[in-house]
Amino acid sequence: MKKKVLVLGCNFAGLTAARFIHKETKGAVDITVIDRKNYVNFIPNIPIEVFANRNPEDTMEFPFQHHLKSDGTEFILGNVEALDIGNKRVIYTPSERAGAAQENISYDFLVISLGCKLTYDKIEGFSEFGHTFTDTYQGNKTRRYLHKEYKGGPIAVGSDRFIQGQSPKLPDIPQALAACEGPPVEITFSIGDWLTRHKKGGPENVTVFTPAEVIADDAGKRILDQLLPIVSNMGFGYVNNTVGIKRLHKDGIEFLNGKSLEAELKIILPNWEPHDFMKGLPISDDQGFVITDWYMQNPDYPEIFSCGDAASVTVPKLGSLGHSEAEVVAKMIAKEVLSDYHHEIKPVQPQVLCFGDMGHGKGFYMHTNEWWGGDTSVLQMGYMPYMLKMGFKVSYELLGGNVPSWGVPVSIFAGDHIAI
Ligand SMILES: Cc1cc2nc3c(=O)[nH]c(=O)nc-3n(C[C@H](O)[C@H](O)[C@H](O)COP(=O)(O)OP(=O)(O)OC[C@H]3O[C@@H](n4cnc5c(N)ncnc54)[C@H](O)[C@@H]3O)c2cc1C
């Protein structure tokens, strides 16, 4: 009988993992995927749609079921509610209609790629006064405000404090005070361009803030030494060491360091927090992120893997890290089930790989592992990073996450070496 692989969550990490597992095991396992929705939310490109006045609910939700079906993978539309680690079972409720009875499903291998909760509900004043881009609903709300109601006042863009998970069982990883600061940097550049093009001001309207000593710390010193002067020479404001957000109100933001910022439009990235049912499990760190090594395997329950934002080692919470992790998970499962699988498996080599929009068809590209002690550090700005960002979206949608093994290395080569 074929071994059963259960993948929880089907956005970037889950879809990529499910498709790579099918490919790597050559169909030798039965794969089931559970997600509460049946489309990929293509989060990294939501801001581009908003600035172009397109509703991301129409353009950034890609159905994935036909891709799973083509691999013979089963899909369950359901809400995962609990993990019974000891009995190798997952408890879920089908989510198509209200009132469904709870069910459970067993597994031989479990891949947890459920992402996180984005805790806007813990930021006082967010629902009334805050805006963001982290899903298509919020993106569309921000689009309506920007294009219909924005009066030309100050704009603040930044992150609340991230609480990184801790456990003595984790590999040594650097500590971050914000979950992912590529997005605030990207939004700052592109909103500055949007203001200029719409004759509503320019970069001088915009202040980017961070809870940390320095924004996008994980980009490493060499990139930041180039990036921060560019941000200030373009006219953007910059505020650091906010510690976190105390509350939003109509006219601005109050921070935990006692300072405040005036803002008509407040664009917020919150704390990334694990789902409640992940807290206190024997596989979880003190916050509820899944403990793994860099082979993405739990040390106490080797049948359990995790990839993407749900994994504790995924810091910053970047889709590109989740992608490399999904590749390693697929190889690890193939090694377990195929007696003739002799490929060498390398652990994930953590790095920041980020393609950001800057407006006007231009973008920035960061490729660095300096934060983890490596010596790669590349920053490029121009048309090529934007083309690579758009190219990745098109290929991801077309191939349903099944990006060929040369796809990412080719993008890195182009990003590192072609400056236009
Ligand atoms: C504005 C913005 C821009 C970004 N830009 C970039 C970028 O340029 N490059 C980059 O690499 N990264 C970027 N990121 C980060 C990237 O979007 C995330 O790292 C990535 O989405 C994480 O993927 P994931 O699959 O791990 O989690 P998620 O995308 O959060 O997916 C989790 C999945 O699990 C499902 N799920 C959750 N709970 C349950 C449940 N209880 N039951 C059933 N299903 C459930 C969800 O429906 C979802 O499909 C950006 C993030 C933001 C917010």
Query: What is each CA distance from 297 to 26, 32, 170, 230, 304, in whole angstroms?
Result: 21, 19, 11, 40, 6
Exposed, middle or buried: residue 101 (CB in 10 Å: 0-12, 13-18, 19+)? exposed
Which among 345, 397, 399, 353 has a CA at the least distance from the CA of 376?
A: 353
Is there a contact between 277 and 83 (Cβ–Cβ < 8 Å)?
yes
Within 6 A (CB) of ligand 1 lie: 9-14, 34-37, 43-44, 46-47, 79-80, 113-115, 133-134, 180, 182-183, 275, 308-310, 317-320, 322, 354-355
Q: Ligand 1: which of 7, 33, 35, 320 to mutate, judged by most atoms within 8 Å of the beta carbon?
A: 35
Strands 74-84 and 29-35: parallel
Mean pLDDT of 144-156: 96
- Going along the chain from its start, the domains and CATH numbers come out as 3-117+273-337 (3.50.50.60)
Taking only the tens place, the pLDDT of each residue in 194-228 is 999 999 999 999 999 999 999 999 999 999 999 99
Distance between CA atoms of 326 and 308, rounded to whole angstroms?
8
The reported pTM is 0.96
Which among 64, 104, 50, 58 has a CA at the least distance from the CA of 81?
A: 104
One-letter amino acid of 6: L
Q: Kindly state the percentage of the chain with pLDDT values over 90.
A: 91
Is there a contact between 81 and 39 (Cβ–Cβ < 8 Å)?
no
Secondary structure (3-state) at 147 = helix
Round the average pLDDT of the chain to a whole number and report it. Answer: 95
Taking only the tens place, the pLDDT of each residue in 101-147 is 999 999 999 999 999 999 999 999 999 999 999 999 999 999 999 99
Mean pLDDT of 228-239: 95
Distance between CA atoms of 222 and 236, rounded to whole angstroms?
20
Nearest CA to ligand 1 atom 30: 115
The closest-lying atom of ligand 1 relative to the alpha carbon of residue 320 is 11
**In the structure encoding, which two tokens stand for residue 221, read together?**
């010193």
Strands 252-255 and 260-262: antiparallel
Taking only the tens place, the pLDDT of each residue in 401-418 is 887 777 777 778 777 777
